[in-house]
C-alpha cells in the first residue's frame, strides 16, 4: 500500500470544491434530521410515549444520528467518487502527479467520513435545540469520534462498491439491498428484542446495528460490556473495508 | 548527448490483448521525440508507461536513470503531463485548478502563486484566472492543461495528442509554446496522429503500428528515404494499372494503388509528368512528399478499424 501524507491534499481539493455546494448540502443536512425527528419523534413518539423512562426522542436521536453519517458517507463515495473517476476523469490527472492512487482514494474516504460527521453533527445540534441532550460534554466528544469511525467504515464499504460499478445504476443494488435494509434492521427506530431469533442474528451482522448500540450508550451515558464487542466489529470491519477498498480501486484506476 | 529515456523489449498486455509488443527506443535529453501511429497503435500506452501511470508488463524502461514504476514518485515529480483528454477539475476555477495541483507537487504556496501568474501569462489565460472551467473554450482548456503540466517545472514533458480538436490558431499557439519549452532545455515526448504536428515539432520520430515500431528517424530524412521528394497522384481506372505502371515506373522509385488513385513516389516528378502528358492522362496531381506519405505507406492507406 502506497499511502502518504498527500491524502491531505485530496481532502483539501474536496474542501475547495465543496465551497460551491456548501449551502445546499448544509440545508439538506439540516432538513433531513428535522424530517426524521419531527415525523418519527414527535408524531410516533406521541403514541409510543416513554422508552426506558425517557421520551422516545432520546431513543431515536442516537440511532438517526449514525444512520445519517452512514447515508452521507456512503453517497459521497458512491456517486461523488464515481463522477470524479468516470465523468470528470479527475483521478487520471491525480495519479500522474506524486499523489498515488491509494492517496487519492484514501483522501476521498476521509472526505466522505468528514461529510458524514458534518451531517451527524448538524443532526445532533438540531436534537439539542429540541432539548434532547447527550449525557455530558465528554459524550459529545465521544460521539464526534464515533461519527468519524462510522464514516470511514461506510465510506470504505462504498468505495469497494464503486470500484466495481460499471454505471450509476449499479449503486441501486447496494443502496436498496444493503443500506436501506440496515436502516430498518439495526434498531434505529425501535428496539430489536421483539424480532424472532434469526432476525436478531441477521441484525448482528449489520455494522449499523453496532454503531447504533454504541451511539445510544454514549448519548445516554449508560455503558455496558457488550459495547466492546460492537466496537471491535466496527474497527475490524473498517480496517478490512479500507484495505480492500484501496486495493480494488487501485485495480480500477491503474491499468 | 545524455539518454533520458531508454526502453528495451518493452511490452504491455491488457489481459490477452498486446498493446505494446516488445519495442526499443532511446530518447535524448533536450530533444523532441514523437510517437506516430494510427489509433490503437500503442502510442498512449507507451507514454503512460514512461510517465509511470501504467505498469510495465515486461522488458526494461529506464527514465532519468530510474526504472519507471507506478510508485515512482520521484519520476512523477519531474514530469509534466499534457493529457489527451481534458482532465481539468470542473468543480474549481482556473486559478484553483493550478493552486491545488501545485500542492500535489509540494510547491510552497508563495512560489506556487508566482509560477501560476507566470504560467497564465505564458498560455494567455490571465483574463480567465477566476473563470469556471465550463466557461472556457476547448482551446483555452488545452492551454490550461499546458500551464498545469508546467507547474512543477518539469524536466520531461509528455504531450499526448495535445492539439486534438483545436482550430488552427489554437494549435499554432500550443506548438509555439512547446517549441519555446524545448528551447529552454526541456525534453519533449509527443504522441500525435497529425503528421504536420510531428514535422513542426519533432527532432526524431518513431512510427508505431499494432504495438510495434515500424520505422525510426529524423522526419525529413524518413520522407526522403521512404518516399523521395515528390508524390504524383494519378486517377485512372484500376484496369489500366498494368499499362500505366509499365510506362511510368522507370521515372518513379515506387508506386502504390489505393482506391481510385495510383501513387508514384519520385525523386523528381518532372520526367513522370512529361510522360503523363504524352500518355494523354490529365487527371493527376503533383505535390511535395510529406511525413503523411511515409505514415500511410508504412501503416497502409486503407482504413484501420
In a domain, B153, yes or no: yes
Q: What is the mean pLDDT of residues B184-211?
A: 91
Average model confidence (pLDDT) across chain B:
90
Q: For residue B250, give the DSSP letter.
A: G
In a domain, B298, yes or no: no
Cβ contact A254–B92 (<8 Å): no
| Total tally of structural domains belonging to chain A | 1
Q: What is the pLDDT of residue B240?
A: 82
Structural domain range at position A59: 7-253
Cβ contact B83–A95 (<8 Å): no
Nearest CB to A97 within list B55, B88, B105 = B105
Q: Distance between CA B233 and CA B244 in Å, rounded?
A: 12
Place of cell 458517507: A73
Are the C-beta atoms of B142 and B170 separated by less than 8 Å?
A: yes
Q: What is the pLDDT of residue A159?
A: 97
B157 and B212 in one domain?
yes
In a domain, B300, yes or no: no
| Residue A17 contacts B where some CB pair is shorter than 8 Å | yes
Cβ contact B53–A254 (<8 Å): yes
pLDDT tens, chain A, 255 aa long? 789 999 999 999 999 998 888 888 888 877 877 788 888 877 887 787 777 778 888 999 999 999 999 999 999 999 999 999 988 889 999 999 999 999 999 999 999 999 999 999 998 998 998 888 898 999 999 999 999 999 999 999 999 999 999 998 999 999 999 999 999 899 888 888 888 888 888 899 999 999 999 999 999 988 888 899 999 999 999 999 999 999 999 999 998
Q: Distance between CA B94 and CA B77 in Å, rounded?
A: 22
B173 and B88 in one domain?
yes
Read off the CATH number of the domain in which B267 is found: 3.30.70
pLDDT digits (tens, 9 = 90+) for B30-61: 999 999 988 889 999 999 999 999 999 999 99
Cβ contact A254–B54 (<8 Å): yes
B245 and B232 in one domain?
yes
| Residue A94 contacts B where some CB pair is shorter than 8 Å | yes
B172 and B260 in one domain?
no
Q: What is the mean pLDDT of residues B287-297?
A: 86
Q: Is the pLDDT of residue B81 over 90?
A: yes
Read off the CATH number of the domain in which B21 is found: 3.40.50.300
In a domain, A24, yes or no: yes
Q: What is the pLDDT of residue B254?
A: 85
Q: What's the burial of B149, exposed, middle or buried (CB within 10 Å: 0-12/13-18/19+)?
A: buried
Cβ contact B83–A96 (<8 Å): yes
In a domain, B294, yes or no: no
Bridge partners for A54 per DSSP: A51
Cβ contact A20–B91 (<8 Å): yes
Please write down the long-range contacts of A45-49, taking CB distance under 8 Å and 24 or more positions apart.
Answer: none
Q: Distance between CA B132 and CA B89 in Å, rounded?
A: 10
Interface test with chain A among B76, B100, B150, B159, by most A beta carbons within 10 Å: B100
Q: What is the pLDDT of residue B269?
A: 80
Bridge partners for B254 per DSSP: B265
Cβ contact A96–B85 (<8 Å): no
Q: Distance between CA A115 and CA A150 in Å, rounded?
A: 12
Nearest CB to A97 within list B14, B76, B91 = B76
CA-nearest of B212, B214, B216 to B9 is: B212
In a domain, A2, yes or no: no
Nearest residue of A to residue B14 by CA position? A255
B143 and B31 in one domain?
yes
B157 and B258 in one domain?
no
Decide: helix, strand or coil at residue B300. Answer: coil
Are the C-beta atoms of B266 and B272 separated by less than 8 Å?
A: yes
| β A54-55/B66-67 pair status | unpaired
Q: What is the pLDDT of residue A230?
A: 94
Band (pLDDT 50/70/90 cuts) for residue B305 is very low
Task: Name, in order, each residue with C-beta under 8 angstroms of A53's C-beta and a sequence gap of 6 or more.
Answer: none
| Residue numbers in A near B101 (CB within 8 A) | 93, 97
Interface test with chain A among B46, B87, B97, B134, by most A beta carbons within 10 Å: B87
| Residue numbers in A near B42 (CB within 8 A) | none
ipTM of the complex: 0.87
Choice among B129-138, B279-288, B294-303 with the minimum mean pLDDT: B294-303
Q: What is the pLDDT of residue B279?
A: 82
Are the C-beta atoms of B211 and B9 separated by less than 8 Å?
A: no
| Residue numbers in A near B83 (CB within 8 A) | 92-93, 96
In a domain, B61, yes or no: yes
Structural domain range at position B258: 228-288
Q: What is the mean pLDDT of residues B145-163?
A: 94
Are the C-beta atoms of B78 and B248 separated by less than 8 Å?
A: no
In a domain, A90, yes or no: yes
HSE-up of residue B62 (Cα within 13 Å, Cβ side)? 10
Q: For residue B132, give the DSSP letter.
A: B
How far is the CA of B158 from the CAs of A5, B48, B247, in angstroms? 26, 9, 48
Are the C-beta atoms of B252 and B232 separated by less than 8 Å?
A: yes
B236 and B112 in one domain?
no
Place of cell 430498518: A184
Q: Distance between CA B83 and CA B71 in Å, rounded?
A: 19
In a domain, B299, yes or no: no
pTM of the model: 0.89
Nearest residue of A to residue B89 by CA position? A90
| Total tally of structural domains belonging to chain B | 2
Are the C-beta atoms of B151 and B112 separated by less than 8 Å?
A: yes
Interface test with chain A among B63, B104, B132, by most A beta carbons within 10 Å: B104
Angle, nearest 10°, between helix axes B138-150 and B109-122? 140
B177 and B248 in one domain?
no
Of all helices (H) and strands (E), which one includes residue A50? strand A50-51
Are the C-beta atoms of B97 and B106 separated by less than 8 Å?
A: no
Cβ contact B100–A6 (<8 Å): no
In a domain, A71, yes or no: yes
In a domain, B15, yes or no: yes
B76 and B40 in one domain?
yes
B256 and B145 in one domain?
no
Record the cell numbers describing residue A63, joined without a space.
Answer: 440511532
Closest-CA distance of chain B to residue A202, Å: 39
In chain B, pLDDT over 70 holds for what percent of residues?
Answer: 98
| Residue numbers in A near B89 (CB within 8 A) | 13, 17, 88, 90, 93
Cβ contact B85–A6 (<8 Å): no
CA-nearest of B53, B292, B250 to A92 is: B53
**Could you say which of B194, B223, B252 is where a domain stops?**
B223
Q: What is the mean pLDDT of residues B284-299?
A: 86
Closest-CA distance of chain B to residue A246, Å: 14
| Residue numbers in B near A92 (CB within 8 A) | 53, 83, 85, 87
B171 and B111 in one domain?
yes
B276 and B210 in one domain?
no
Are the C-beta atoms of A155 and A113 separated by less than 8 Å?
A: yes
Nearest CB to B104 within list A2, A6, A101 = A6
| Residue numbers in A near B73 (CB within 8 A) | 4, 98, 100
In a domain, B304, yes or no: no
Q: Distance between CA B202 and CA B195 in Å, rounded?
A: 10
In a domain, A1, yes or no: no
Amino acid at each position: 500500500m502506497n499511502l502518504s501524507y498527500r491524502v491531505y491534499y485530496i481532502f483539501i481539493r474536496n474542501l475547495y470544491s465543496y465551497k460551491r455546494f456548501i449551502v445546499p448540502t448544509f440545508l439538506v443536512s439540516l432538513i433531513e434530521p428535522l424530517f426524521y425527528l419531527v415525523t418519527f419523534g414527535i408524531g410516533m413518539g406521541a403514541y409510543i410515549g416513554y422508552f426506558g423512562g425517557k421520551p422516545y426522542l432520546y431513543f431515536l436521536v442516537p440511532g438517526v444520528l449514525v444512520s445519517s453519517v452512514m447515508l452521507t458517507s456512503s453517497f459521497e463515495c458512491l456517486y461523488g467518487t464515481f463522477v470524479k473517476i468516470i465523468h470528470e476523469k479527475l483521478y487520471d490527472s491525480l495519479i500522474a502527479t506524486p499523489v498515488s492512487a491509494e492517496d487519492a482514494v484514501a483522501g476521498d474516504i476521509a472526505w466522505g467520513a468528514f461529510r458524514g460527521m458534518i451531517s451527524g453533527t448538524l443532526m445532533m445540534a438540531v436534537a439539542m435545540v429540541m432539548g434532547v441532550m447527550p449525557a455530558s460534554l465528554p459524550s459529545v466528544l465521544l460521539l464526534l469520534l464515533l461519527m468519524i469511525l462510522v464514516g470511514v467504515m461506510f465510506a470504505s464499504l462504498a468505495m469497494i462498491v464503486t470500484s466495481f460499478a460499471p454505471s450509476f445504476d449499479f449503486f441501486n443494488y447496494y443502496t436498496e439491498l444493503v443500506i436501506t435494509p440496515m436502516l430498518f434492521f439495526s434498531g434505529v427506530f425501535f428496539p430489536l428484542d421483539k424480532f424472532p431469533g434469526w432476525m436478531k442474528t441477521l441484525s448482528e451482522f449489520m455494522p449499523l446495528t453496532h454503531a447504533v448500540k454504541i451511539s445510544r450508550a454514549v448519548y445516554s451515558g449508560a455503558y455496558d460490556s457488550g459495547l466492546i464487542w460492537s466496537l471491535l466489529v466496527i474497527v475490524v470491519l473498517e480496517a478490512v473495508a479500507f484495505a480492500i477498498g484501496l486495493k480494488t480501486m487501485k485495480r480500477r484506476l491503474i491499468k | 548527448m545524455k539518454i533520458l529515456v531508454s526502453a528495451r523489449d518493452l511490452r504491455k498486455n491488457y489481459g490477452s490483448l498486446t498493446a505494446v509488443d516488445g519495442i526499443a527506443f532511446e530518447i535524448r535529453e533536450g530533444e523532441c521525440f514523437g510517437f506516430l501511429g494510427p489509433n490503437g497503435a500503442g502510442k498512449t500506452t507507451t507514454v503512460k508507461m514512461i510517465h509511470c501511470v501504467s505498469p510495465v508488463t515486461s522488458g526494461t524502461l529506464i527514465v532519468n536513470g530510474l526504472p519507471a514504476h507506478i510508485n515512482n514518485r520521484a519520476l512523477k515529480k519531474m514530469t509534466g503531463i499534457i493529457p489527451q483528454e481534458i482532465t481539468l477539475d470542473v468543480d474549481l476555477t482556473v486559478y484553483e485548478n493550478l493552486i491545488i495541483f501545485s500542492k500535489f507537487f509540494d510547491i510552497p504556496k508563495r512560489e506556487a502563486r508566482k509560477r501560476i501568474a507566470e504560467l497564465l501569462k505564458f498560455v494567455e489565460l490571465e483574463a480567465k484566472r477566476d473563470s469556471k472551467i465550463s466557461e472556457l473554450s476547448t482551446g483555452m482548456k488545452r492551454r490550461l492543461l499546458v500551464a498545469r503540466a508546467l507547474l512543477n517545472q518539469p524536466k520531461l514533458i509528455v504531450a499526448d495528442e495535445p492539439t486534438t480538436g483545436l482550430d488552427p490558431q489554437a494549435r499554432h499557439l500550443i506548438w509555439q509554446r512547446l517549441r519555446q519549452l524545448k528551447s529552454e532545455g526541456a525534453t519533449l515526448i509527443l504522441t500525435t496522429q497529425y503528421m504536420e504536428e510531428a514535422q513542426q515539432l519533432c527532432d526524431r520520430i518513431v512510427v508505431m503500428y499494432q504495438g510495434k515500431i515500424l520505422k525510426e528517424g529524423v522526419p525529413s530524412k524518413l520522407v526522403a528515404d521512404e518516399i523521395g521528394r515528390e508524390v504524383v497522384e494519378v486517377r485512372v481506372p484500376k484496369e489500366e494499372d498494368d499499362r500505366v505502371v509499365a510506362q511510368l515506373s522507370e521515372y518513379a522509385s515506387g508506386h502504390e494503388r489505393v482506391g481510385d488513385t495510383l501513387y508514384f513516389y519520385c525523386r523528381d516528378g518532372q520526367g513522370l509528368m512529361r510522360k503523363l502528358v504524352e500518355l494523354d492522362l490529365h487527371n493527376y496531381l503533383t505535390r511535395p512528399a510529406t511525413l503523411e506519405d511515409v505514415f500511410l505507406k508504412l501503416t497502409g492507406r486503407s482504413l484501420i478499424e
